Amino acid sequence: MSDYESEQIQVLEGLSAVRKRPGMYIGSTDVNGLHHCVYEVIDNSIDEALAGYCTHINVQIKKDNIISIEDNGRGIPVDPHPKYNVSALEIVLTKLHAGGKFERNSYKVSGGLHGVGVSCVNALSEWMKVTVKRQGKIHCIELVRGEVKKPVQCVGESSETGTCVEFIADREIFETVDFHFDTLSKRLRELAFLNKGVTIEIHDRRLEEEKFHIFKFEGGIVSFVELLNKGKKPIHEKPIYFLHEENDITTEIALEYNENYNELVYSYVNNISTTDGGTHVSGFRSGLSRVFTEYVKKYELDKKNKLAVTSEDAREGLTAVVSIKMPDPQFDGQTKTKIGSSHIHGIVREVVEKKLSEYFDQFPQHGKAILQKAMQAAAAREAARKARELTRRKTALSNESLPGKLADCSERDPALTELYLVEGDSAGGSAKMGRNRRFQAILSLWGKMLNVEKTRLNKVLENDKLHPIIAALGAGIGDDFDISKLRYGKIIIMADADVDGSHIRTLLLTFFFRYMTALVEKGNVFLAMPPLYKIWHGKKIKYAFTDPERDLAVKNDFPDVQPSIQRYKGLGEMNPDQLWETTMNPETRNIIKIASEDFVAADEMFTILMGDDVAPRKDFIYKYAKEVTNLDI
């Protein structure tokens, strides 16, 4: 038995706790935690904007992944703190739970709640430099891994005000320090929508040709909804907008219904993106449901079928932004992805009931169009329920819960298993024989599956091409999808490298994005990368995935001979050993993880490429036709 005495009890002083357990403060040390550090600093600038003192924020990704965030707010105080006799700037950067967010006179509304944001970023940085312009002076402090290297000192004069934070993330802490421009740009665009009139810039100076965006939206969240619905057909003239202020709580909502079938709701509290929702979202949905139930009866829209309109029906085709600004929000955890303030549910519900009822009374023609869509959704939901029941009955009668074309694996831990979705029976047969049966399962697909962008859930459930995928994954679909029930940790799409294969990949990705969104969000979906070429002479064989790789292999590996070259047209041309060696062996294969750094842009792209409206798709093809590099003809 090992010793366990008092000397084993440690007290982590200062910021050492953050470096020891960074996940407790920023969620993780992967790319998500890396970007969260930037958000923590930006949120301080946004809090200055909420207080009415900041109109411009400039974010730069410099060479070596140095981050710079500068605003024109009041500037962090630099004078000595009366209690600690140290510059307030140093205290903010080096002590947990220190900041101006606890005192109501400084910030009535703030995203920063715990006072650990910028000090955590400091603790997790190789170095940090903060420059403050305030009261005619410029002050600067430099720190290394949380410790002060150069204390606060006056370095010049300026008539401007503001704070500039520069840092480089610590490679000892993070799995990667490579910042993604699109990920940061998405967040800054959201903040510009949520704070109308504030200019937010982002510049990527790592490449020779600089990338940048400048965001400023006078329309606020109404402009946000218009962007989210770009390429979709709205069923009323313009977005519906609510603004209500009461007891220091501001409720701002913009919503618009379109002819599509998916719900898209973005929610925020004090500009913090609450990706896991919370009481403000539940209040919003509850208010919608009540108004829809009342006005279906008022307009007598369902005399025949007696269908009850549910909250789910009321949200079909809905695009909405729900933004709450309030003092002392109660978030679940430091990363603030969900709000738990119970009184917000009732406040938001009452605002939605009052304002939406007024809109329906003022614009009855728009109200009836919206409600009729909900009635169609209710009818489709009833059909989907019957389809589910039929599926369950078939499953029970057959005593077989998994599809017949599934060759399952023996491993039962989802973290260790893979499911290959393989185009065609021929390739599926090769994959079954070539796989590692312990952890690799194979599901053969045949023919083109349904384009789910153009149909409702009931048609999806009835589709014989998609049903085996739903059954094999075992996690449900749509609102019922539960990723914790997923049977395979990796879902790998393996299709031919031609137009048909590309179409199948796109149809599957559309299905996952629309009806199993969490798979994409959590990084469970992958594309297999089979080689395009087999190059050989005698017993020597090389594979190439691109034309340049083919040419290089011929030059370097067969310098004195003329090798044979085969261009694979389909996966079925490979025997099981070749398929394992090139495409399925985790030690040698190439697979691409599907990720959505910008959900708004991804949503727009699926709408353009897979939606009903032909004109945007035509424009897209005209615009990018000359950039096509691999066209199978």
Strand 264-269 to 318-325 pairing: parallel
96, 100, 102, 103: CA torsion to nearest 10: 150
Six token digits for residue 183: 């990920």
375, 380, 383, 385: CA torsion to nearest 10: -90
Residue 408 catalytic? no
A 10 A CB-CB count for 565 gives: 15
Residue with token string 């973290």:
415
A 10 A CB-CB count for 45 gives: 25
Instruction: Pick the catalytic residue from 47, 316, 496, 604.
Output: 496
For residues 536 and 300, give the distance between their C-alpha atoms in angstroms, rounded to a whole number: 74
For residues 200 and 212, give the distance between their C-alpha atoms in angstroms, rounded to a whole number: 11
Residue 276 catalytic? no
A 10 A CB-CB count for 342 gives: 10
Question: Which string of DSSP letters, residue by residue, matches 4-15?
Answer: --GGG-----TT
Residue type, 169: A
Strand 137-144 to 147-157 pairing: antiparallel
| Residues linked to residue 3 through DSSP beta bridges, in sequence order | none
pLDDT, residue 133, reads 96
Identify whether the C-beta of residue 402 lies closer than 8 Å to the C-beta of residue 335: no
Residue 43 catalytic? no
For residues 607 and 454, give the distance between their C-alpha atoms in angstroms, rounded to a whole number: 9
Q: How many CA atoms lie within 13 A of 210 on its CB side?
A: 11
A 10 A CB-CB count for 23 gives: 12
**Biggest alpha carbon distance in the chain?**
85
Residue 498 catalytic? yes
pLDDT, residue 399, reads 37
Instruction: Pick the catalytic residue from 263, 276, 350, 500.
Output: 500
For residues 68 and 59, give the distance between their C-alpha atoms in angstroms, rounded to a whole number: 6
Residue type, 395: T
Instruction: Pick the catalytic residue from 498, 549, 573, 598.
Output: 498
3-state secondary structure 521-534: HCCCEEEECCCCEE
Residue with token string 């039929």:
390
CA nearest 197: which of 218, 225, 169? 218
What stretches in the chain show pLDDT beneath 70?
Answer: 1-14, 97-116, 303-306, 333-336, 387-401, 404, 628-633
Packing angle of the helix pair 499-515, 599-610 (nearest 10 deg): 130
Six token digits for residue 94: 């080096």
Residue length, the chain? 633
Six token digits for residue 62: 């410099």
Residue with token string 């313009």:
238
Identify whether the C-beta of residue 50 lies closer than 8 Å to the C-beta of residue 62: no
For residue range 330-341, list pLDDT tens digits in order: 777 555 677 877
pLDDT, residue 148, reads 93
For residue range 239-269, list pLDDT tens digits in order: 999 999 988 899 999 999 999 888 999 999 9
For residues 376 and 262, give the distance between their C-alpha atoms in angstroms, rounded to a whole number: 14
- Which residues, other chains included, contact 17 with Cβ-Cβ below 8 Å and sequence gap of 6+? 24, 96
In the sheet with 240-246, reading across from the earlier edge strand, the strands are 240-246, 249-257, 318-325, 264-269, 272-273
Supply the DSSP symbol for 584: I
- Which residues, other chains included, contact 165 with Cβ-Cβ below 8 Å and sequence gap of 6+? 41, 67, 68, 69, 70, 118, 121, 128, 129, 130
Identify whether the C-beta of residue 177 lies closer than 8 Å to the C-beta of residue 168: yes
Supply the DSSP symbol for 247: T
Angle at 135 between CA 129 and CA 137, to 5 degrees: 50
How buried is residue 628: exposed, middle or buried, by Cβ count under 10 Å (0-12/13-18/19+)?
Answer: exposed
Instruction: Spell out the domains of the chain, with CATH numbers in brackets.
Output: 16-215 (3.30.565.10), 221-383 (3.30.230.10), 401-530+592-605 (3.40.50.670), 535-563 (no CATH)
Backbone angles phi, psi at 613, to 5 degrees: -75, 120
For residues 550 and 544, give the distance between their C-alpha atoms in angstroms, rounded to a whole number: 5
For residues 193 and 199, give the distance between their C-alpha atoms in angstroms, rounded to a whole number: 10
For residues 374 and 382, give the distance between their C-alpha atoms in angstroms, rounded to a whole number: 12
Backbone angles phi, psi at 88, to 5 degrees: -60, -35
Identify whether the C-beta of residue 513 lies closer than 8 Å to the C-beta of residue 606: yes
For residues 53 and 176, give the distance between their C-alpha atoms in angstroms, rounded to a whole number: 35
H helices present in 170-321, as ranges: 181-194, 221-228, 279-298, 311-314
Instruction: Pick the catalytic residue from 40, 353, 423, 603.
Output: 423
pLDDT mean across residues, the chain: 86
CA distances from 624 to 547, 606, 617, 621, 629 (A): 21, 16, 11, 5, 11
- What ranges make up the beta strands (E) of 47-110? 56-62, 66-71
Identify whether the C-beta of residue 431 lies closer than 8 Å to the C-beta of residue 492: no
Three-state DSSP class for 625?
Answer: helix
CA nearest 291: which of 348, 360, 380? 360
Strand 56-62 to 199-204 pairing: parallel
For residues 313 and 25, give the distance between their C-alpha atoms in angstroms, rounded to a whole number: 38
For residues 405 and 316, give the distance between their C-alpha atoms in angstroms, rounded to a whole number: 33
pLDDT, residue 570, reads 78
